[in-house]
Amino acid sequence: MLEDCKESIILIVDDNPTNLLVLSQTLKDIGLKVRVSMDGESALEQAIEETPDLILLDIQMPGIDGFETCKRLKLNPSVSDIPVIFITANNSTENIVEGLSLGAVDYIVKPFQKEEVLARVQVHLRLRLLTRKVQEQAIALQIANQQLECLANLDGLTQVANRRRFDEQLDLEWKRLTREPGPLSLILCDIDYFKRYNDFYGHQAGDTCLKQVAKALEQSLKRPGDFVARYGGEEFVVILPNTNFDGASHVAEIIQTDIEKLYISHAQSQVSTHITLSLGISSMIPTKEASESSLIAAADKALYEAKRRGRNTFYHEFSAV
């Protein structure tokens, strides 16, 4: 007997007290836990109350017979995967086929032999155990894959989406708004004089600053479809689906206000005593003739203009939408 099966629970269903006694003792002798029932209705109740690992089910019983009991078990999602071995004195092909078609995994013919009962029970307990392990491994693998996918899409430092994930999301939104025409806006955000910040305060402080700015950017976005990612270095990017020039400008104002509230000292900045952002905004209605690269290029051009105009401001390149 497999050690892992020692705690397995077997439910024996038979209206014959002698059969119940013999089978129970046979299984208990090898360390299995046994529960008994003398009719189909109570067997169903017991199976639902405390799920057994295997059911030995007599076919000929008063009330609902073994076939009907098995059918009801298989129709209940909470107990449908419990393996059922029929016990019968009728070993006709027709009888066996009917039982197997209802979902039974095996047959034991009366009068049963102790060695045969143990052999069949152990085989199906092993299969049950292996099935559970495979299911557990499949779930663990699925969770691991989800975690890996999450890690692959996140920037390791700031924990917002990375450049790879940004490219995917922008492509997705571009294609969607090409099919269902609507405005798409992009905001490129650059921390003003960040190199000087790093040089003066140190790279550890710089990392902390980046994480604070990333979190503030996330909190600035109010709609589920809005998206922020680290674009590279001290640059972040925001995707605003179904957002025109006015909407994007409003978000830019919120971002600047939220960054100001961080109150991160920046003694080396030439525009403020605290961390500020320069923002470049572009807005377009996606079409098949254009591409998302044009939206990025426009936002980049707008960001350059915001810096040229003194930083700590935002500039909008397109005003068509």
Quote the DSSP letter at residue 161.
B
CA atoms within 13 A on the CB side of 17: 0
Are the beta carbons of 313 and 306 closer than 8 angstroms?
yes
Are the beta carbons of 153 and 164 closer than 8 angstroms?
yes
> Cβ atoms within 10 A of the Cβ of 140, count?
10
Distance CA 307, CA 110 (A): 90
Quote the DSSP letter at residue 5.
G
Distance CA 206, CA 211 (A): 9
**Tokens read off for 204:** 């550890």
Are the beta carbons of 197 and 209 closer than 8 angstroms?
yes
So which residues are the catalytic ones?
A: 234
Q: What is the SS3 assignment for 185? A: strand
Distance CA 147, CA 70 (A): 40
Backbone angles phi, psi at 30, to 5 degrees: -105, 15
